[in-house]
Amino acid sequence: MKIRNIIPSCQTIPLIKPFITALRKVTSIEFVMIRVLLEDGTEGVGTASPTVVITGDSLQGIESAVQTILSPLLIGREIEQIAALSQTIQHSCIGNTSAKAGMEIALFDAYAKKLNVPLFQLFGGKTNTLQNDMTISINETDRMVKDAVEGVKKGFNALKIKAGLDVAEDHERIQAIREEVGPLIEIRVDANQGWTKKEAVRIIDGWEKAGLNINLVEQPVAAWDLASLKYVTDRVNTPIMADESVFSPKQALELVQMRAVDWLNIKLMKAGGIFRAMHIADIAQAGGIPCMIGSMMESGTGVLAAAHIAAAHPNIKKIDLDAPLWLKGSDFKAFPFKGPTIVLSEKPGIGYDFMENSGGGEA
């Protein structure tokens, strides 16, 4: 079945409260919704979210890449040739990983709908239920503690604590949160490249000596500095995870070969799509390194697509897909969150219906 048209549209959703990391402060999210229309009326939907400080992609750049680069290469092609379509997307230009990811998500949504299966089943997944974490944004210590306690009351057994803005305050915040939530809650810390290698070792060593039982520390040092990642990993007992350091399968292979980290964080907007995300998970699995799947501060089918991949790939062991919980309202009438539990729809595709949720029409 041929692709008849591809329609991008820019959208914005405000957040319930500011989201603050060591890299940026966010008060709303922007994304490009991508609709792929087949000749028989089947429609696939994907979203591409800009995160300039990580991917370098802007909203306008994503929209332009979809309109002027990707769409002309894909319109008129057969949706059944999904692997070839993915190769076309990846070879179309350098970078633009968010646009590539959003386009591939839309294509897979359409393809799975043609086959009348949910996306996770298309990849061999058996379960449609996942356990999510909750992210605690950087704030005053009292506020972060309150947010963490509220998350636990909602049923979350894993908290991801943002850090990296103030080295002196990071220890205090994590210690205060641990004291309030108790020993059984899993705490993950994300420094978003905020520390030097020696700061990272000193901070993590302090947590270990204090018995704070940190489950893992994500991207403690600059993304480009793999030697420093390995330096930290080799000197602490707490597992270290790469995030901004791993966009591509090639980077994943390098990290695995160096034994630079203990975990990899996969995000579709970094990887450039579903196939490359799966390849990263495969490489990590071959090297004995487990993966977490996360997302940018985004909405739409990007988060759902990531959840489907997590449900299908055996090497994705942790889930960090709470971004929709930050949205004021939602572009989903019924996003599949029940506290910390994500229950994926058994509907064909990703489980998002553009007509039902947006009131939009064909163009």
Is residue 297 annotated as involved in ligand binding?
A: yes
Is residue 104 annotated as involved in ligand binding?
A: no
Quote the CA–CA distance of 281 and 265 in Å, as a whole number: 9
Is residue 238 annotated as involved in ligand binding?
A: no
Quote the CA–CA distance of 163 and 192 in Å, as a whole number: 7
Active site residue 146: no
Active site residue 333: no
Is residue 1 annotated as involved in ligand binding?
A: no
Q: Do 213 and 237 contact (CB within 8 A), yes or no?
A: no
Is residue 135 annotated as involved in ligand binding?
A: yes
Quote the CA–CA distance of 38 and 43 in Å, as a whole number: 6
Is residue 57 annotated as involved in ligand binding?
A: no
Q: Do 265 and 251 contact (CB within 8 A), yes or no?
A: no
The residue type found at 292 is M
Q: SS3 of 350, please?
A: coil
What lies within 8 Å, CB to CB, of 46 at 6+ separation is 33, 34, 36, 101, 102, 103, 104, 105, 106, 107, 108, 109, 300, 301, 302, 305
Is residue 12 annotated as involved in ligand binding?
A: no
Is residue 331 annotated as involved in ligand binding?
A: no
Tokens (6 digits) for 208: 């270990």
Candidates 113, 162, 197, 230; catalytic one: 162
Taking the CA of residue 57 as centre, how many other CA atoms within 13 Å lie in the half-sphere pointing to its CB?
28
Describe the chain by its helix, strand, coil percentages, rounded to 5: 40, 25, 35
Is residue 295 annotated as involved in ligand binding?
A: yes
Q: Do 324 and 299 contact (CB within 8 A), yes or no?
A: yes
Is residue 142 annotated as involved in ligand binding?
A: no
In terms of DSSP bridges, do strands 291-294 and 316-320 run parallel, antiparallel, or are they unpaired?
parallel
Candidates 230, 267, 270, 318; catalytic one: 267
Which residues, in sequence order, are bridge partners of residue 30? 12
Quote the CA–CA distance of 313 and 124 in Å, as a whole number: 8
Please give the annotated binding residues for Mg(2+), written as ranges.
190, 218, 243
Please give the annotated binding residues for substrate, written as ranges.
24, 135, 160, 295, 297, 320, 322
Please give the annotated binding residues, written as ranges.
24, 135, 160, 190, 218, 243, 295, 297, 320, 322
- Residues marked active site are found at 162, 267
